[in-house]
Structure 1
């Protein structure tokens, strides 16, 4: 059983007007096999939370802890966090010219496991995962995210998740830019990863449509850098019907 504990996390970012606090005391616990959906309006700090967990240098942790099975990941470098079992699917995946998908995936797997996967088994696993995600085999020889459509980028993120088998996966708006078919296929990939490896999932989204495919155990409403309300799947349904106005009105 893996546990990620976020304790009173405060995070700031430098702006042209000086340092601005984005996260203002976030508390959250995610365990193996659980799916936590974080929902909230634009600018509420959802992506800041994702990148802070992963170790993006843009964000400054001013106080608090992020514990993975008792170890503070904030003391780790980015690559150490990945080896410890934390995975981030980015909202806007970056292009890596000159590096093919196949080379990228095998290099990443080797770095995380500390040894290269057996080639025959690895090729079989990659082929199977790509077929499940309805990805053309030729995709493996394209450069990472170069010229990819939005749907291709998101499928590639989930392909990584399935093959790298993290302990905790942070999915930052994986549903953005996806049509209905791509959303279903990507969601099926997340569900497969949960079934095979009991990964804990932190799913960041604006909309409830992805939650029709990936059922959350817990829903957390983010407003102004803090968790404003928590509940089960029924909370997402209420947000779909009512929106975030009542939280924003209370804040004002």
Structure 2
């Protein structure tokens, strides 16, 4: 198995004729956790949606390769079957569909294998216990009446159950208290192994304390302008983005 999982080269993306990503480069190997940080409007969520194939986001230049295959024109459902997962910053409520029904259908669709009821119930119960979710969540309608923390936990439950090769988490930690952040972080750590990778978009250092990422990238004005380790996040926490903006604008 080649070690390179995701390779993004000179990616330029428009939304409604406005260029948001302006030549972004990023490479992720199997078994890594990458963090994307940056000020609002820099293109973080655009990157996430583009990787998942959202039709609103138009690739005008550059390449996205997943396990060596060009996926620029691949439909979202086919990307999901190849092992790409996106957790939503604002998860949708779906009345009439329970969490268990949704996940069992999604698992069948992504894996191409019918999920038998009893084994799937056992799998789901195990994953829910890891996230400290009560059994009755499985029978509730998807995200309907869920608190913000419950919705975010449910996104991690989906990731854990579907077992993608690349999990993209778009501000999964926003709006969570310290205990919920810890539980979400533990769910991410339990999921991670040498065969998958995680790309986390966040504004908060608290999650990073738990995850201990391999790389932190600063996304500014449509490009990744700086990459480092956990010390880079601490610098942002102390000084904000002004120094990096000044450094970037001087180049």
Q: Which residue of 1 aligns with 2:224?
A: 227
1:10 and 1:21 in contact (8 A); partners too: yes
CA root-mean-square deviation: 1.3
- Alpha-carbon distance in structure 1 between the residues aligned to 2:13 and 2:146: 32
Runs of 4+ in structure 1 displaced over 4 angstroms?
none
- Counterparts of residues 50-65 of structure 1 (less than 5 Å): 50-65=48-63
Question: After the TM superposition, which of the residue ranges 100-109 and 142-151 deviates more from structure 2?
Answer: 142-151
In structure 2, the residue corresponding to 1:74 is in which secondary structure? Answer: coil
Give the match's secondary structure for 2:146: coil
Tell me which residue corresponds to 1:28: 26
> Which has the larger displacement, 91-100 or 160-169?
91-100
Of 99-108 and 242-251, the range deviating more from structure 2: 242-251
Q: How big is the shift at 1:247?
A: 2.6
Count the aligned residue pairs. Answer: 247
Q: Can you give the 5+ residue segments of structure 2 that lack an aligned partner in the other structure? A: none
User: Does 2:130 align with 1:132?
Assistant: yes
TM-aligned CA deviation for residue 38 of structure 1: 0.5
Query: Where does the alignment leave 5 or more consecutive residues of structure 1 unmatched?
Result: none
Q: 1:236 aligns with which of 206, 222, 233?
A: 233
Q: Equivalent residue for 2:88? A: 90
1:47-88 CA distances to partner (integer Å, 9 max, x unpaired)?
100000001122111111110111122221110000000000
Aligned to 2:11: 9
User: Which residue of 166, 169, 176 corresponds with 2:167?
Assistant: 169
Deviation per CA, 1:76-117: give whole Å up to 9, x if none.
111000000000011111111211111000000000111112
Q: Return the offset for 1:2.
A: 5.4
Q: Aligned runs of 1:90-109 on 2, under 5 Å?
A: 90-109=88-107
Contact 1:2 1:167 in 2 (8 A): no
- Listed one character per residue, the Cα deviations across residues 204-246 of structure 1 (whole Å, up to 9, x for unaligned) are 1112111011111001011101011111122112111111011
SS at match of 2:72: helix
Structure 2 counterparts to residues 191-230 of structure 1, below 5 A: 191-195=189-193, 198-230=195-227
Which of 73, 76, 85 pairs up with 1:75?
A: 73
> Take 1:162 and 1:109, find their aligned partners in 2: how far apart are those partners?
11
CA distance in 1, matches of 2:136, 2:238: 42
- Aligned-partner Cα distance in 1 for 2:40–2:80: 27
Match of 2:121 among 101, 120, 123: 123
Please tell me whether the aligned partners of residues 14 and 20 of structure 2 are also in contact (alpha carbons under 8 angstroms).
yes
TM-score of the superposition, structure 2-length normalised?
0.95
1: distance between equivalents of 2:158 and 2:139? 15
TM-score (norm 1): 0.94
User: How far, CA to CA, are the matches of 2:33 and 2:40 in structure 1?
Assistant: 21
